[in-house]
């Protein structure tokens, strides 16, 4: 998942120890994934800030927390710290972070998934939501399932019509977009009806 070299682990342990807070960890956040502006941000994470969507990446002496929806962007990521007399440099390498635009030979599935990953999901993630591709029919109908804060949200039809459909309409071969989510069973909708 994330390879943390001992140099980086020692650096984090030192920073955490200086804070004097029991159970303090590090949150790793991805911003603008799948775009040339893709980047990783690090911040302290107190125990009460850990959410149900967080995945704990245990290290000797501390834990790194990552939102499970951001994990694909961090596949193969590594961290190292190079110290010197003036301080040092923490380097994070995440080869999938900036993504890659599907080439001309990419399938319609690859193109739809790319738009979901880079345009749709970063937007709905701010409301705790996620949109997943279920299938694409032979006649170009994209079938989606909304989850998290989108499941049962009273604004999902607006998101579908004015956000998702418009984003996917640019892809050659997409003829329609359908939502097959059971919105009645949503446990934590962002906007209740």
Closest C-alpha among 53, 55, 31 to residue 42: 31
CATH superfamily of 2-93: HesB-like domain (2.60.300.12)
Distance CA 27, CA 61 (A): 15
pLDDT at 118: 78
Query: In the CATH scheme, what is the code of domain 108-185?
Result: 3.30.300.130
What beta strand segments (E) does the chain contain?
A: 2-4, 25-31, 39-45, 54-59, 62-67, 77-84, 87-93, 129-136, 141-148, 176-179
- b vs e for 105-140, b when ≥16 Cβ sit within 10 Å of the residue's Cβ? eeeeeebbbbbbbbbbbbebbebbbbbebeebeeee
Fold match flag (2-93 vs 108-185)? no
pLDDT at 147: 86
User: How many Cα atoms occupy the beta-carbon half-sphere of 7 within 13 Å?
Assistant: 12
Sheet containing 87-93: which strands, arranged edge to edge?
A: 2-4, 77-84, 87-93
What pLDDT digit, counting tens, does each position of 45-77 carry? 999 999 999 999 999 999 999 999 999 999 999
pLDDT at 166: 92
Ranges of each domain in the chain: 2-93, 108-185
Percent of the chain at pLDDT > 90 equals 59
């Amino acid at each position: 998942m994330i390879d943390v070299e001992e140099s980086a682990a020692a650096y984090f342990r030192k920073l955490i120890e200086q804070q004097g807070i029991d159970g303090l960890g590090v949150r790793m956040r991805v911003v603008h994934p799948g775009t040339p502006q893709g980047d990783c941000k690090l911040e302290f994470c107190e125990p009460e800030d850990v959410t149900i969507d967080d995945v704990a990446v245990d290290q000797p002496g501390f834990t790194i927390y990552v939102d499970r929806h951001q994990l694909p962007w961090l596949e193969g990521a590594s961290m190292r710290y190079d110290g010197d007399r003036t301080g040092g440099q923490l380097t994070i390498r995440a080869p999938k972070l900036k993504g890659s635009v599907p080439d001309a030979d990419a399938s319609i599935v690859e193109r739809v998934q790319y738009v979901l990953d880079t345009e749709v999901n970063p937007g709905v993630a701010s409301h705790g939501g996620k949109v997943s591709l279920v299938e694409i029919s032979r006649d170009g109908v994209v079938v989606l399932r909304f989850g998290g804060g989108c499941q049962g949200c009273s604004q999902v039809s607006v998101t579908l019509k004015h956000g998702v459909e418009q984003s996917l309409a640019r892809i050659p071969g997409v003829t329609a977009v359908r939502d097959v989510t059971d919105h009645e069973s949503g446990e934590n909708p962002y906007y209740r009806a």
